[in-house]
Structure 1
């Protein structure tokens, strides 16, 4: 069965162009959303996903009407493939029920993965450059060396509960304090 899906971003926009194109393409059923593509909870898309059966083909006017990003679009198509459902985009002339259409879509996927890898590499290079300059990533440490030594001493004296030591040190979680104490103990044992 050919099932159409149409979406516009705002109530001001009109679905007529997409509806007409989907009818001409032979869609037997149509689902619609008037919501931003950035929204993950689109009721029309959710209804579409729940009604799909093996052998169905989802027909869209343009790729950007279905996914909110290339990554999201690829995830949706992978879900379609797992359910043995095809995707046909009228404007881009892509049909994943054909060998050529699958090839084009997999090329899109490869380009998206390449882009993610480039972003990851740039991020890691930036973090390495920052470390060379003495800047470390992550949350700043709550306890400086003096406070850590005090917390360790209070813990070893066993005159205060862990909760009391947390309050004195301004730490909200017992597990955070235990992590600090374990690292401090390892450091002291390693130095001895």
Structure 2
């Protein structure tokens, strides 16, 4: 499996600002990482920095409950953490497999995964010429043609190249 980095700016900012004795509430365990090792590494960083952790969708993973019971508390949390982080990683793998299967099936059916290409308007050349001759602004030309800026300039570049080719053929 490829290495997945958990490089999120907000997470880095949180780690810089959270202090010993603070409590971190997270919705689910998979918010700590993309795979089992990542989850366990982040959990360990939090534990090493004496930060309490509360996983909202898994009440057993609330380190505040076990502060007075060093041995048994660590055992319960570590067992549950190992199992759940493995499950989170397996679920991520399963999602990727199902996604790939869906994409492959769609490709076999002829589905194209890209933005549909914009057809050049029939009156493009006429409007282009007016724009090039300074009879209208580019903004006005785009409005008349119903094109976005980048599409208009892409078509304009194509038209310019086409015109240059015609000139070369004439010479």
- Give the shorter-chain TM-score range: 0.3 to 0.5
Q: From the two aligned structures, give the one with the greater helix fraction.
A: 2
Q: TM-score, normalised by structure 1?
A: 0.41
Q: TM-score, normalised by structure 2?
A: 0.45
Q: Which has the larger radius of gyration?
A: 2
Q: From the two aligned structures, give the one with the greater strand fraction.
A: 1
